[in-house]
Amino acid sequence: MKVIIVGAGEVGRELAESIRRKGHDVIVVDKSKEACRKARSLDVKVVKGNGVRPQLLNSLDIKGSEYFFAVTNNNEVNLVACSIAKSAGCKTMARVNGLEYISQEVSRRFTKIGVDYAISPELLIAEKIVDIITVPSAIGRNISMGGKIEVVEFKVLANSKIKNKKIKDIDLPPKVNLGAIIRGNDVIVPGGDDTIKEEDTLIVMVGGRKPEKKMLKLLGAKNKVNRVMVVGATSIGIEVAKKLDKRGVDVKIIDNSKKRGRAAAEKLKDVEVLNADARDKNVLIEEGILRMDALASTSNSEEYNVLVSLLAKVYGVEKTIAIVRELGVKSLIETVGIDLAASPELQTANAMLRLARELNPLKAIPVHGGDIYILEMVVEEDSPVSGKTLAESNLPPESIVGAIIREGKTIIPHGDEKFKEGDEVLTFVLKEEINAVEDVF
């Protein structure tokens, strides 16, 4: 299948790499020489040029392309490019920045001009941040199998009941399965003899709210988040504050710009907005950082967000989130003490990949910034694993079958569990083993 991507920034490169990995032909277009240089490190065709020029798009055989993604920083370019692509018969998606255009994370507002889906990076990341903040100890969440299963990233706290225990000695709640451990820069596919350590991130498959609550008790997490500080009265920060306020959380916004502060105060009638520099430790203490359950730094400066989040950790804030733009530094930032480096670009690319079902027939869902994937697969009648037990299935050692959905019921499988035709199977797997798991199924 042929795919054209206009925009070779972080979103475009993430899309190109993921789609090419599935074996599709990818063409990336960008006006910037530097952006094209970065894209050439991927195994894709790169063309320097203007993605809204019909002549250029025709020269790339746009009529022979199945999907067209426009993901530049310019909304008008993205919308016009998609309009041209739709007239050539492509399925189209556009990145749309700012909140004045669309009010949903994924919108169908522009279908009349040829945009099948308009994706809002700000709304996507705001929803993710709020979701992470409001579940104590969680730093990531993905929903699979139509909502039947959630994959949650939990942080192991100092008071956790499972700290320093071997996995085989932990009585995990029913419908809970541990798929991976993130320890610093290492991704561990766990076995029974592996030991859980403080500050580990556990990637856990959970089949419902009750088992999730039981897991939170094991982790020693608080029952509720009451107070949150948001640093940066940006569109993302305002959206985060608005959503938290609606959930009954006491929110405070700090921004060093009077103009942004006034604009935020007009939109957030029930939220305290302060004009100050959150890098000043005296400001943080005066504004109650010692009583905060979480801090989200959502300014337009990556360095500022990282510094403020680290300061918050020094003052004992349990959960800190920093907006980052460069995907290459995401994992590094999370190793220095910040709980989540939240990337609007990564969220945008992932949302587009979920919508482009034909490009992702395996439904490979990246977790923890793509360190590990969840594969959603269905056991067909002629599948090599049909009728075999888990132990007989020759799955790669760097993979774990996390759950099976059978006739609407969630099964956490053991080695003697047999695969049956029609089973929906969720498997944790390292990126480099995706093809090997596909071959088994």
What CATH class has 2-119? alpha beta
- N- to C-terminal Cα distance for the chain? 22
Q: Which is more confidently placed, 36 or 151?
A: 36
Residue 88 pLDDT > 90: yes
In terms of Cβ atoms closer than 10 Å to its own Cβ (0-12, 13-18, 19+), residue 357 is exposed
Q: Rounded mean pLDDT of 185-196?
A: 88
CA distances from 321 to 337, 338, 412, 419 (A): 10, 7, 31, 40
DSSP notation for 179-224: EEEEETTEEE---TT-B--TTPEEEEEE-SHHHHHHHHHHHT--S-
d(CA 399, CA 415) in angstroms, rounded, equals 13
Tokens 């002629």 belong to residue: 382
Residue 66 pLDDT > 90: yes
Structure tokens at 32: 């910037």
Q: What pLDDT is recorded for position 391?
A: 87
Selected from 3.40.47.10, 3.40.50.970, 3.40.50.300, 3.30.70.1450, the CATH number assigned to the domain covering 137-219 reads 3.30.70.1450
Q: What pLDDT is recorded for position 56?
A: 96
Q: What pLDDT is recorded for position 131?
A: 86
Number of DSSP helices (H) and strands (E) in the chain, helices first? 13, 23
pLDDT in tens, 116-129: 999 999 999 999 99
Mean pLDDT comparison of 76-90, 95-109, 347-361, 394-408, highest-scoring range:
76-90
Residue 433 pLDDT > 90: no
In terms of Cβ atoms closer than 10 Å to its own Cβ (0-12, 13-18, 19+), residue 311 is buried
Q: What pLDDT is recorded for position 296?
A: 98
The dihedrals phi and psi of 296, each to the nearest 5 degrees, come to -120, 120
With cut-offs at 50, 70 and 90, classify the pLDDT of residue 375. Answer: confident
Picking from 17-31, 44-58, 418-432, which range would have the lowest pLDDT averaged per residue? 418-432
Q: Rounded mean pLDDT of 271-288?
A: 95
pLDDT in tens, 7-17: 999 999 999 99
Mean pLDDT comparison of 185-189, 340-344, 380-384, highest-scoring range:
340-344
Contact assessment for residue 116 and residue 230, using Cβ atoms and an 8 Å cutoff? no
d(CA 364, CA 20) in angstroms, rounded, equals 13
Q: What pLDDT is recorded for position 24?
A: 93
pLDDT in tens, 198-249: 888 888 888 766 666 777 777 766 667 899 999 999 999 999 999 999 999 9
Q: Rounded mean pLDDT of 336-363?
A: 82
| Contacts for 31-35: CB closer than 8 Å, 24+ residues apart | 32/8, 35/7, 35/8, 35/9
Contact assessment for residue 182 and residue 368, using Cβ atoms and an 8 Å cutoff? yes
Q: What pLDDT is recorded for position 300?
A: 95
Residue 371 pLDDT > 80: no
Tokens 């032909």 belong to residue: 25
Does the structural domain 361-440 have CATH classification 3.30.70.1450? yes
Q: What pLDDT is recorded for position 36?
A: 97
What CATH class has 227-323? alpha beta
d(CA 403, CA 331) in angstroms, rounded, equals 27
Q: What pLDDT is recorded for position 104?
A: 92
d(CA 174, CA 354) in angstroms, rounded, equals 29
Q: What pLDDT is recorded for position 222?
A: 64
**Mean pLDDT value across the chain:** 89
Find all residues with CB under 8 Å of 2, minimum gap 6, and list them: 24, 25, 27, 61, 64, 65, 66
Contact assessment for residue 320 and residue 309, using Cβ atoms and an 8 Å cutoff? yes
Q: Rounded mean pLDDT of 139-168?
A: 77
Locate all alpha helices (DSSP H) within 315-368, ordered by sequence.
330-335, 344-355
Counting residues of the chain whose pLDDT is more than 70, the rounded percentage is 93
Q: Rounded mean pLDDT of 10-28?
A: 93
One fold for 2-119 and 137-219: no
| Residue boundaries of the structural domains of the chain | 2-119, 137-219, 227-323, 361-440
Burial 393-431 (b: 16+ CB within 10 A, else e): bebbebbbbbbbbbeeebbbbeeebebeeebbbbbbbbb
With cut-offs at 50, 70 and 90, classify the pLDDT of residue 161. Answer: confident
The dihedrals phi and psi of 125, each to the nearest 5 degrees, come to -75, -35
